[in-house]
Structures are given as structure tokens and as C-alpha cells.
Amino acid sequence: MEIRREGYASAAAQSLVQASVAEMLQRYDGRGGSGAEPRTAEFESPAGAFLVGFEGEAPVACGGICRYDDATGEIRRMYVARDQRGGGLSHQILRALEEEARALGYGAIRLETGNRQPEAVGLYRSAGYEPIPRYGPYVDDERSLCFEKRL
């Protein structure tokens, strides 16, 4: 997989974001997520980046890093296309996001995932992420599981 920086509003990024939204609505019985829809600017320099993984010309994985606070980045919109799962692409995109976070000067990264996404929870735990209390827009959402990793 070739991983490239892409604009969040790009066709490649949005094809994966829309697939992710559709899957989450299905997993959570039509209920949307707690977090506000990220703005394109959140994923731009100097505080963020949005990455898309390609197999040939096909976008197959994505994720963004944006500013949570001066010392902490937040991973948002991480997703691997259903037909591409099981081949380690999630590990690759997560490592690339961690590298971006370091390059942006963050000392830690945090993220939120859902309680009906056991594969995501397993990925984050295996990559060294520790559970933390729910934060920000997720505080009152019993579906939310939050994690953080020191870089």
C-alpha cells in the first residue's frame, strides 16, 4: 500500500469517509457518532494531516491527525475498506499517522472508537494505546471508548 497525504475534501478521502459513515450507521442501528464532523482545515498543516492508502489507484485506507491541544494530536476518521481488511493495512495507516503526529510535534495521540468495533479496539491495544476516560464530545456517550498513546 502506498500512503499519501490527501486533502480531506479529495474524492479519494471522501469515498472512504462516506463508506465509514455508512458502516457506522449500520453497526450502531442508524445512530450517528458523537463527535462533530471534522472540518477540512483540521487536517491541514501546521497542526494536522489526512492520509490515504492506495492499492494501485484505488483508495483503500485512510485516517487523519488533528490538534487536540498543543501537546496532543487526535486520530480521526481511520478506516480500511471492508474488502481490504485482514492484510495489515490498519497497522500501516496507524503507524503512518503516528509518524505524522511526531513530525507535527505532538507528544501523545488520543482517539475515540466505538464499543461495537472490537477489531478497532484490538488494533489500538496491540499498538500500545491505553484506555482513558471519555473526553470532549464523547463524555456522555456510553458507546465511546477512548484511548491514548505517548509517542
Q: What is the pTM of this model?
A: 0.94
Residue 30, pLDDT score: 76
Give the span between the Cα atoms of 116 and 15, in whole angstroms: 22
Class of domain 2-110: alpha beta
- Strands (E) in 14-135, as ranges, are 49-55, 58-69, 72-80, 108-114, 130-132
**Range with the lowest mean pLDDT among 11-25, 35-49, 85-99, 116-130?**
35-49
Higher pLDDT, 38 or 142: 142
Helices 118-126 and 89-103: angle between axes, nearest 10 degrees: 50
- Residue 35 pLDDT greater than 70, yes or no: no
Give the span between the Cα atoms of 17 and 11, in whole angstroms: 10
Q: Which tens digits make up the pLDDT trace of 115-145?
A: 999 999 999 999 999 999 999 999 999 999 9
Question: Residue 98: helix, strand or coil by DSSP?
Answer: helix
